């Protein structure tokens, strides 16, 4: 039982940053914007959160600043793609490279230093229940925020008027504009939310997952988050399932290495990314389902009538 609890706890810890980043990107893509800068926003959030927590001794303040750093980076992306109407793919890739380089410069003097860990919140009595206690009632605040975000995004997209407007913009920004919906303003809000989630995912990496700073510690999680959105067919609950599936694959390869299984460690390290490719290939075989769920205006620039 102790081993099962330990494995499940590590799976939830590994899945949380994927879940947050993918949820944010889901909202962004539902508005018709393709943001490939998620990786850069995650690593910037991780760097700022670690440095802020280290300097102040307050991990909650660090997590807040990490989320805001991701949001600020997303504003730069929004200004370039929504206001200046630059190519979304090229801009996202450029911001990822910028984020990786800038975060390395910010955290250079903190490499190898112990960080300030975000401690779990323990609920009396409930946290003592076998298996489910440590798993659900003795977690850090970012875990609870990720679960709340799944519920909130699901309600927002499919139960609220603003969510309906956002989905309408993603499906046909021209028609939405003709109906008087502010396309640019809505997309700015979606992009900022996506950056906030990515920054918080980065904060979880440097304050919970491995409470230290390592250059490029996002390790491709932004790209996996992008694949998760497609894997989930732009549905929040499916993102939840997909994030925990990929989290299990990530932790599974670590436990396989610890047990000394006679498989090359390089192959085990590549397993999460191989799983991503396999899932995308399987999904792409059902072209009708993919086209039915994909926002029709995804990646298309919009210039309102003057």
Whether residue 162 lies inside any domain: the answer is yes
The reply to whether 124 falls in a domain is yes
Both tokens of residue 50?
A: 């670690």
Which CATH number does the domain housing residue 146 bear?
1.10.3470
Establish if 209 belongs to a structural domain.
Answer: yes
* pLDDT at residue 262 tops 70: no
Q: Is residue 230 part of a domain?
A: yes
> Residue 172 sits in which domain range?
2-293
Query: What per-residue confidence (pLDDT) applies to 264?
Result: 73
Q: How many domains does the chain divide into? A: 1
Higher pLDDT, residue 278 or 289: 278
In-domain check, residue 302: no
- Within-domain flag for 304: no
Report, as an integer, the average pLDDT of 110-116. 87
Q: Quote the pLDDT of residue 146.
A: 96
Residues 54-82: tens digit of each pLDDT:
999 999 999 999 999 999 999 999 999 99
Q: 45 - beta bridge partners?
A: none
Q: Which residue has the tokens 């925020």?
A: 145
Of the ranges 122-131, 163-172, 240-249, the best mean pLDDT one: 163-172
Q: Are residues 284 and 157 in contact, defined by beta-carbon separation less than 8 angstroms?
A: no
Residue 46 has pLDDT above 60, yes or no: yes
Residue 128 lies in a domain: yes
pLDDT tens figures, 144-191? 999 999 999 999 999 999 999 999 999 999 999 999 999 999 999 999
Q: Given this model, what pLDDT does residue 249 score?
A: 83
**pLDDT per residue over 102-111, tens digit each?**
999 999 889 8
């Amino acid at each position: 039982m102790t081993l099962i609890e330990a494995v499940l706890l590590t799976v939830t810890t590994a899945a949380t940053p994927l879940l947050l980043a993918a949820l944010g990107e889901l909202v962004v893509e539902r508005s018709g914007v393709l943001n490939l800068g998620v990786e850069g926003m995650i690593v910037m959030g991780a760097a700022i959160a670690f440095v802020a927590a280290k300097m102040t001794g307050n991990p909650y303040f660090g997590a807040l600043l990490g989320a805001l750093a991701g949001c600020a980076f997303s504003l730069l992306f929004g200004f370039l793609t929504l206001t200046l109407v630059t190519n979304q793919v090229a801009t996202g890739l450029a911001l990822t490279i910028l984020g990786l380089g800038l975060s390395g410069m910010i955290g250079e003097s903190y490499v190898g230093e112990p960080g300030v860990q975000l401690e779990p919140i323990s609920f009396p009595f409930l946290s003592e229940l076998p298996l489910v206690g440590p798993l659900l009632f003795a977690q850090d605040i970012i875990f609870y925020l990720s679960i709340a975000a799944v519920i909130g995004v699901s309600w927002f997209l499919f139960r609220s008027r603003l969510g309906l407007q956002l989905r309408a913009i993603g499906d046909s920004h021209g028609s939405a504009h003709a109906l008087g919906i502010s396309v640019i303003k809505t997309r700015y809000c979606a992009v900022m939310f996506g950056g906030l989630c990515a920054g918080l995912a980065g904060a979880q990496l440097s304050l919970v997952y491995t409470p230290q700073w390592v250059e490029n510690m996002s390790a491709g999680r932004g790209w996996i988050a992008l694949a998760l959105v497609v894997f989930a067919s732009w549905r929040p609950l499916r993102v939840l399932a997909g994030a925990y599936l990929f989290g299990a694959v990530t932790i599974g390869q670590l436990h396989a290495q610890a047990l000394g299984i006679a498989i090359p460690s390089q192959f085990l390290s590549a397993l999460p990314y191989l799983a991503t490719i396999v899932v995308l290939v399987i999904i792409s075989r059902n072209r009708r389902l993919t086209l039915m769920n994909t926002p029709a205006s995804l990646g298309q620039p919009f210039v309102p009538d003057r």
